[in-house]
Amino acid sequence: MKSIIALCLFLWTAQAYEYALTPVKVSEDVHCFFGALENITKENGGNMVNTCFVQTKQGFVVIDSGPTYAYAKQAYTQMQMIENLPVKYVINTHDHDDHWLGNSFYKSKDALLIGPRTYEQNVVVGMETRMQRTLGSEIYGKTEIVSLDTVVDNNLTLNVGGKILEIQQLVSKAHTQGDLIVYLPDEKVLFAGDLVFNGRVTSIRDGSIIGSIKALEKIEARHPKVIIGGHGYKTDANATQALKSYLLEMKEAVLDALDNDVSIEQVTKKVTMPKYKEMKLYDILHSRNVFEAYRELEMYDEDEE
Ligand SMILES: [Zn+2]
């Protein structure tokens, strides 16, 4: 009996983390997997991110590969259940590790990896990632860091099986210093990466509040019918609204605090924006965002725009 229990325990621990991914159809030929509105934890296996795949006659194009090798492998299994097709390209929207650590799985399937210049600059093969530290080696499993095949500096247009995909960096610094959007002009579907969040608070620690607002305006100017953010479940034409109003309100409140000589030590206590307190991750991220906004807006001159 004891040995049976030991065997069961061994088999259970040897199993990769089970993500239970369910593809959600967001538009014709476009499916996404939606992650939890949480930070990375062992319990969620890093599945707090949205990833998508576009089906074409020639194969799939994956937008963001997710937090681990096992996640990407399980996503691939789901894709194959829809249609038995190869993955031609994987496009990484930015260099935060929840969005690209599945790359090594897709590389093993001969997909071409595309991403921003910041991936090439900041992602070093063999480095320890935030995901690895949080998940531990068992859940992290076979995850490896791999280099990109193609770096996008400004824009790149792909034609895959007759489907046009426009990849573009909209502003020089927004959520990070290299945020790519992917746009399907014929379907008016826009994959925004972390330029769009909803249902939870964003983090502007590697980016810019002014740039983030500008990027949202540029997204809206294209009048997409479907907008998929890196985090959050809302995918309609108004998916930008929650983040835009959060950032605009923060900009006004912080500029006001600067006008009134509120110090950086005081500003996080003053700009609490209670309207957003119920939003997920407010407690963890909001005051840091205010702090970062203060540092940026101290140097900001609206007339120079
Ligand atoms: Zn993210």
Is residue 161 assigned to a domain?
yes
Mean of pLDDT values over 87-97? 98
Mean of pLDDT values over 125-151? 97
Look at residue 73 and tell me whether its pLDDT is greater than 90.
Answer: yes
pLDDT at residue number 300: 86
Look at residue 14 and tell me whether its pLDDT is greater than 70.
Answer: no
Mean of pLDDT values over 241-270? 97
- pLDDT band of 12, cuts 50, 70, 90: low
Look at residue 5 and tell me whether its pLDDT is greater than 80.
Answer: no
Amino acid at 172: S
> Range of 87's domain?
16-238
Is residue 31 assigned to a domain?
yes
197 alpha carbon to ligand 1 midpoint, in Å? 9
Chain segment 166-216, per-residue pLDDT in tens? 999 999 999 999 999 999 999 999 999 999 999 999 999 999 999 999 999
Tell me how far the alpha carbon of residue 272 is from its chain's centroid: 25
pLDDT at residue number 244: 98
Tell me the three state secondary structure of residue 282.
helix
Tell me the helices (H) and strands (E) count for the chain, helix number first.
Answer: 9, 12
CATH code of 29's domain: 3.60.15.10
37 alpha carbon to ligand 1 midpoint, in Å? 11
pLDDT at residue number 85: 98
284 alpha carbon to ligand 1 midpoint, in Å? 15
Neighbours of 256 (CB within 10 A): 12
Domain count for the chain, please give it: 1
- pLDDT band of 301, cuts 50, 70, 90: confident
Is residue 305 assigned to a domain?
no
Is residue 244 assigned to a domain?
no
Chain segment 249-260, per-residue pLDDT in tens? 999 999 999 999
- 87 with 114: CB under 8 angstroms? no
Is residue 274 assigned to a domain?
no
Q: How far apart are CA 126 and CA 282, in angstroms?
A: 33
- 71 with 46: CB under 8 angstroms? yes
206 alpha carbon to ligand 1 midpoint, in Å? 11
pLDDT at residue number 8: 54
Give ion ligand 1 contacts, CB < 5 A: 96, 98, 194, 230
Look at residue 101 and tell me whether its pLDDT is greater than 70.
Answer: yes
Look at residue 230 and tell me whether its pLDDT is greater than 60.
Answer: yes
Q: How far apart are CA 263 and CA 295, in angstroms?
A: 11
pLDDT at residue number 167: 98
Look at residue 4 and tell me whether its pLDDT is greater than 70.
Answer: no
pLDDT at residue number 302: 74
Q: How far apart are CA 254 and CA 270, in angstroms?
A: 9
Those residues whose C-beta lies under 8 Å from the C-beta of residue 178, and which sit 6 or more positions away, are 94, 95, 116, 117, 118, 119, 169
Is residue 264 assigned to a domain?
no
Is residue 285 assigned to a domain?
no
Mean of pLDDT values over 251-273? 97
50 alpha carbon to ligand 1 midpoint, in Å? 8
- pLDDT band of 15, cuts 50, 70, 90: low
Is residue 140 assigned to a domain?
yes
pLDDT at residue number 242: 96
Mean predicted lDDT score pLDDT of the chain: 95
pLDDT at residue number 10: 52
Neighbours of 77 (CB within 10 A): 10
- pLDDT band of 160, cuts 50, 70, 90: very high
Tell me the three state secondary structure of residue 191.
strand
33 alpha carbon to ligand 1 midpoint, in Å? 14
Tell me the CA end-to-end span of the chain in Å, nearest whole number.
73
